[in-house]
Amino acid sequence: MKQKKFNFSACLLIPLFIVLLVVVFGASFINQYPSQAEQKFGQPSIHLTTWQKFLISYRLISSQELLLEPIGTPDESVLFSIEFNQPTDVIISNLDASGLIADASLFRDYLVYSGLDTQLQAGSYQLSRGMSAVEIAQTLLDSTPLFITISILPGWRLEEIAESLPTTGVEITPDEFIQAAYQRYPSLPITEEIPLGASMEGFFPPGMYEVERTIRAEQLVPFLLEKFEQSLPPKTRQGIADQGLTLHQGLVLASIIQREAVTQEEMPVIASVFFNRLEIAMKLETDPTVQYALGYNTAQNSWWTNPLTYADLEVVSPYNTYLYNGLPPAPISNPSLAALQAVAFPAQTPYYFFRAACDGSGRHNFSETFEQHLNFACP
């Protein structure tokens, strides 16, 4: 292959042209545009040549209003995304197509001038036509996600949900969430189901939810309450009523079943045990209610003390079903839909007792009599 000759005269052309401009117009003419650009747009990239600095500065100053003034109003919002390793020219083209910048070529000049053309971050951004092109460029440097995902596990109590929020990136403290869970939201009919003075414990449906990172506690709680209403089938609500329970009472029982059951298929059978006990005014005597009453165990670093001692079973609390008949005053956790359906449609059994099997499976042995129950004790 024939090598191209080095064009020495061409390399001298640009410097000679700059020298000519200096001679004809003076050094002040050459410096005025870079100086003005630095005042308007900040320090130029150290990677610019002298000629690039002059030429780009001239273009930026000549059309500065297209970069410094918005082309619309703040209420014209646009969700804009940058994919991983997306070329800068594609990003600029997408901004132009979204009506966010007035001049794609000039916007690219600004990115090159400031050195931002290689620094735009992948992610989703909430932009608006009320932002200037310079503000948009600066915004695209922050890859903090606009939306985050929060998770609620079946059987979590209110405090566990609250403690998990800061780890997701949402800007809500545990105390803010708990306080919001005790407020009333008149616009939501579901809150009429909750006794005065009680929290929304039990009404936060387990699942994964995408929310804005900047959501406030007073917005998140109603959001979750709406999700609860949307996720509760009318047949399940009616089934709970058919058992002679209010929705709140149904949640109380479901929250206990959620903490007792390890396998979902056993939930209707466990429900039948509790219904059988309630029918004859027998105490429920269920450990999760005592665990709820005890609160946080600092030694175990858990909200659910395990194992319980005989002294624990004597804790004075309306939630202690070893001391008091009937249901506790409020849910002890946030149950899954499966636990609610177990309350709505319990199995029909003669059982009054159940005990964990000794095989480590998490399943239970069910009994009609206390004597049978004792025989299932592990060696």
* pLDDT at residue 254, rounded to an integer: 98
* pLDDT at residue 28, rounded to an integer: 55
* pLDDT at residue 122, rounded to an integer: 86
**Counting every residue, how long is the chain?**
379
Secondary structure of residue 364 in the 3-state scheme: strand
Q: DSSP assignment of 2-33, as one string? A: PPPPP-HHHHHHHHHHHHHHHHHH-HHHHHHH
Secondary structure of residue 156 in the 3-state scheme: coil
The whole-model pTM stands at 0.73
Q: DSSP assignment of 60-118, as one string? A: HHHTTHHHHS-SS-TT-EEEEEE-TT--HHHHHHHHHHTT--S-HHHHHHHHHHHTGGG
CB 258 within 8 A of CB 202: no
Round to whole Å and give the CA distance between 328 and 337: 20
Backbone angles phi and psi of 36, in degrees to 5: -65, -40
pLDDT digits (tens), the chain, 379 positions: 444 444 545 555 555 555 555 554 545 556 788 999 999 999 999 999 988 999 999 999 999 999 999 999 998 989 899 988 899 999 999 999 999 999 999 999 999 999 999 999 888 888 999 999 999 999 999 877 788 899 999 999 999 999 999 999 899 999 999 999 999 998 999 999 999 899 999 999 999 999 988 999 999 999 999 999 999 999 999 999 999 999 999 999 999 999 999 999 999 999 999 999 999 999 999 999 999 999 999 999 999 999 999 999 999 999 999 999 999 999 999 999 999 999 999 999 999 999 999 998 999 999 999 999 999 999 8
Show the tokens assigned to 28.
């002040």
Query: Which residues, 6+ apart, have CB-to-CB distance to 42 below 8 Å?
Result: 114
Show the tokens assigned to 138.
């600066």
Q: DSSP assignment of 237-283, as one string? A: HHHHHHTT--HHHHHHHHHHHHHH-SSGGGHHHHHHHHHHHHHTT--
* pLDDT at residue 92, rounded to an integer: 97
Q: Distance between alpha carbon 194 and the CA centroid of its chain, in Å? A: 25
* pLDDT at residue 379, rounded to an integer: 87
Show the tokens assigned to 174.
């545990």
Round to whole Å and give the CA distance between 41 and 36: 8
Secondary structure of residue 150 in the 3-state scheme: strand
Show the tokens assigned to 313.
């079973």
